[in-house]
Structure 1
Amino acid sequence: MFDDFWLQGQLLWNTPLLAGFIMAGVLYGFLLVNFTKGKIHPKQPILFFLGLGLLYITVGSPLSTISHLSFSLHMIQMSMLYFIIPPLLLLGMRDSWLTKSTRINKIFLPPPAALYTFAILFLLYHMGVILTFLSQHSNVHNSYLLVLLYTSFSMWRPIVNGQNERYAMLSGLLLLPACILFIFNASLGEVNNPLLAQMTATLCFTPSEFSSFNLLPAPFNTRLDQMMAGFLMLGMHKFALIVTVRLGKKVQMHDWGRDG
């Protein structure tokens, strides 16, 4: 799911993943039409399909490979994947699907456990030693990213409900160290992009033949790029928190067709 799609040095779109997402969209529409009582608010399917589309662009398009070219592009991808897409998909789902279904509830981790687990794993992921190791072992890397995605959905559930602003504040505080880590490393002059190094090795290119400097202008892959990545992650997470809390409150206020 998270692999890079290259063929003879050219970027590709993941067609099998697109087919899977189309099937997921069809299933969502079927459930919404046939197993929902009451009026359906138009914002719910819009939010769900927006989240599904962004998920495909993030992991199934050339962006999944382009994001390796610099820290800031990589952080945009990670922020989309864990801070934007999960709340969009959850907001697009029926309240009864998430709260009244015992089977679905068992899938998710308890919110506090999910939040602390995600914060720790996300911080570790962006430590140089860990990221270098993961970039050299694609199966472990993909598994790690899937665990992050799973915990992010569990982490966003109470925020989507629009009734737990203290939890939202705690989320912002716990994810702050990962942002600070990037900024701190940049201040020390550490500019090491193992994802780019692994990509050039996979394509049998040397850094002089293929690097972000040949494709992207300054300040990519510099100290400023690494510092920018930390601020981007911080800003996108805060933005996601504010918008999700507001949308969650509107969901509750307008009673988006709860099953009676």
Structure 2
Amino acid sequence: MTIEIAPGTPVARRPWRRLPGRVWAGAALAAPVVVIAVFGGFLAPHAPTDYVGAAFQGPGAGAPLGTDNLGHDVLSRLLCGGGLLLWPAVAATAVSVLCGGALGLVAGCSRGRAGEWIPRVVDVLLAFPALVLILMLMARAPSSTGLVVVSCALVLTPGAFRIMRVAAGEVAVRDFVAAARALGLGRIAVIRREILPNVTAPLFVLIPMQFIAATGLITVVNFLGLGVSGFTPSWGVMIMENKDGLVVAPLGVLAPVVAIAVLCVGINLVSDGIAAHLSRAAAAADS
């Protein structure tokens, strides 16, 4: 559902104070994990590489969540490792949404060669399985976080492109867009002033979807030992390192798994709630 706006008319304010309850529930779930990821390093009782006991010990006074496979404090590594997953996921999401969204807007609004050739180029990326493409790109620099971000963004760009192309194509055929073109507005001005404000609902769904996908990809890549080096306490690395001790010391695996799951569920709830809210606002505007 899109909101039709006459050319040159500003987008009306939406009643954000009436957001669905799932938005607040999702924010309540995701916010603590985000805080831990951003500020956890300042709260860790030990350095992530400090040895505090024997391997795979249960919770104790010096290690509230027990120790990992090398005797490091699981809690300290959990607090220090969240940012190593969060920031690359945010960066990959931003790059994929900007690149894929921009290409999708151009392709959805173009009736010429751009609208035909851009999808063909993007389809080339879809010919490769996501994880295989990432592993191919990282073969030369397996410990590069920047390359992880670029690889994940490249894999996620086709999804952003398709969603924004469909959304922009639906808006581009509306009468107010034709009127804007008749007034002499260029393609970029039409996209910026008339089409982009009317694809906010798909955009609010796209960004969390891309972030959740990026989080999963980066976790898998880190689990395989790529994108990190040494004893880096990324949550994906923690899962990989402690999988052998799952029976005797499960918190080394369960703690990062639960943190990732809670973050993704919370963001998904926020996304669904905002999308539903914007759809209701669009229906009210159309009526």
Q: TM-score, normalised by structure 1?
A: 0.35
Rg bigger for which structure? 2
Q: TM-score, normalised by structure 2?
A: 0.33
